[in-house]
Structure 1
Amino acid sequence: MKKWAVAGLSLLLLAGCSSNTADKKEALDGETLYGNKCSACHGGNLKGAVGPSLLNISSKYSEDKLFKVISEGTDKMPGHLLSAAESRVVAKWLLEKK
């Protein structure tokens, strides 16, 4: 009986470790983060929906300013939806889009 309990706990621990790895990988992917947290308002194609279009955002914002908007939000957009590291990744990803 004790062996089954140890085996069960081991499986739970292994499952937890693998999901943490997946979360860390996702945090490095701006497209995935955008799709999960931003696309509902800004559209999957960056053309806008409830929120404004983000196409050619580099003509409007520097990386630091865009990071601040993503991190802190605005009067119409909530902030703190992403961690600081995730906000930086999404800002860089958006600035690469044309």
Structure 2
Amino acid sequence: MKNKLIKMLVGIGLVMGLAACGGGGEDTASGGTDSAHADAEKIYNQKCSSCHGDNLKGGMGPELTAVGANYSQDEIADIIQNGQGAMPAGLISGDDLDKVAEWLATKK
């Protein structure tokens, strides 16, 4: 129990540290779907992959490979914005939040 708590606290510390170090969302000129998905994947890699894994396979956080089969884009955005379980709220906001939620909603 004690080890699990320590691992969770270290994980949360890493997430918060990475969130503070993550770059802002950079807009691309093309604005196409592929570009938006590339932007979302970049944001995910900066802010989420430390807990949810490089390939959405999970780690400290749950696997997200089929998250869109269980949650709508709006529900995913709400979870990111407000947090859920051990996941802290507000790691991504604004346009970046919308891009990541849209991208994750396609994972079915």
TM-score (norm 2): 0.63
Deviates more, 1:32-41 or 1:76-85: 76-85
- Is residue 2:59 matched to residue 1:49? yes
The structure with the larger Rg is: 1
- Structure 1 partner of 2:45: 35
- What is the CA-CA distance between 1:79 and the residue it aligns to? 1.2
Q: How many residues are paired up? A: 76
The root-mean-square deviation of aligned C-alpha atoms, in Å, is: 1.8
Structure 1: stretches of 5+ with no match in the other structure: 1-21
- 1:82–1:41 distance in 2 versus 1, CA, 3 Å: same
Aligned letter for 2:92?
Answer: L
Contact 2:52–2:63, Cα closer than 8 Å, also in 1: yes
TM-score (norm 1): 0.69
Aligned letter for 2:27?
Answer: K
- 1:97–1:24 distance in 2 versus 1, CA, 3 Å: same
- Structure 2 partner of 1:86: 96
Distance in 2 (alpha carbons) for counterparts of 1:75 and 1:23: 26
Contact 2:57–2:63, Cα closer than 8 Å, also in 1: yes
Contact 2:76–2:104, Cα closer than 8 Å, also in 1: no
- Structure 2 partner of 1:69: 79
Distance in 2 (alpha carbons) for counterparts of 1:69 and 1:50: 16
Distance in 1 (alpha carbons) for counterparts of 2:73 and 2:25: 24
Distance in 1 (alpha carbons) for counterparts of 2:26 and 2:45: 16
* Percent identity (aligned): 41
Distance in 2 (alpha carbons) for counterparts of 1:35 and 1:43: 9
